[in-house]
Amino acid sequence: MIDLTKGIRLSSAQVEETVASVTPVFISEIDSKVEFATRFPNMMVTLWSLIVLIQKYPSQNQFLDYYLEVHKDEIRNFSPNAVRARVLRTYPSITREVHFYSLVNESGLFNQVDYSIHDDVTQGIDLKVYLGGKCYNVSCFVLTKRSLHFRETKKNTRHIDISNSIELPIDLSSGKHNNGWVFFDIYHVNQLFGEVLDLAWLKYNQHPLDLIC
């Protein structure tokens, strides 16, 4: 298990400050060859490699430039503008995931919070939370047509039975808005906490009051 907070000072406030200092930039172009490429270089892995490299959260432009450089050989046969468009569109969603991980970790509601790039990429687990001696695998996703489409595609290709799985669908209208960006808020952390308490009670007969105290 990789704890990405070790050696890197990365708080939810710092992520917000970096990102929201400039309004998001998008390109309207969409190319189906780019959008549905099966071997398109993974953006979350690339994002974390950049975070480790610069020891802080990168801006949208920093991430775009880095992605295009490190993956130039893999993406050379795709439309450059369409690649830029996909990277720029994806950045807000992976930023929300990193921000939410930090937010959950900072809440103090759980005994431990972990993130693994391997589990994220291969199993779609956005984070692991521990409470009452049990581990819960969390997958959070936004309720948009695009998000639900790609989520269903990934589920059909993984075929992995995940124990203590919690799916957390989130409506972006309930998120925190800042200069054109949308982040998950403490409301969503409490929503996750409630889901964990419910599963602990139903599956392990652990009373919520015992877990909260």
How would you list the strands of the sheet with 165-170, edge to edge?
A: 112-114, 127-131, 134-142, 165-170
* pTM beyond cutoff 0.75: yes
The one-digit pLDDT tens for each residue of the chain (213 residues) are 444 545 577 899 999 999 999 999 999 888 999 988 888 999 999 999 999 899 899 999 999 999 999 999 999 999 999 999 999 999 999 999 999 999 999 999 999 999 888 888 888 899 999 999 999 999 988 876 555 555 555 555 554 667 889 988 888 888 899 999 999 999 999 999 999 999 999 999 999 988 886
State how many domains the chain has.
1
Residue 1 is assigned to a structural domain of this protein: no
For residue 34, what are the domain limits?
Answer: 12-212
Residue at 185 is within a domain: yes
Does 143 reside within a domain? yes
SS3 137: strand
Residue 122 forms part of a structural domain: yes
Residue 2 covered by a domain: no
CA angle 187, 188, 191 (to 5 degrees): 90
Write the CA distances from 117 to 32, 35, 123, 137, integer angstroms.
Answer: 26, 22, 10, 13
Neighbours of 61 (CB within 10 A): 12
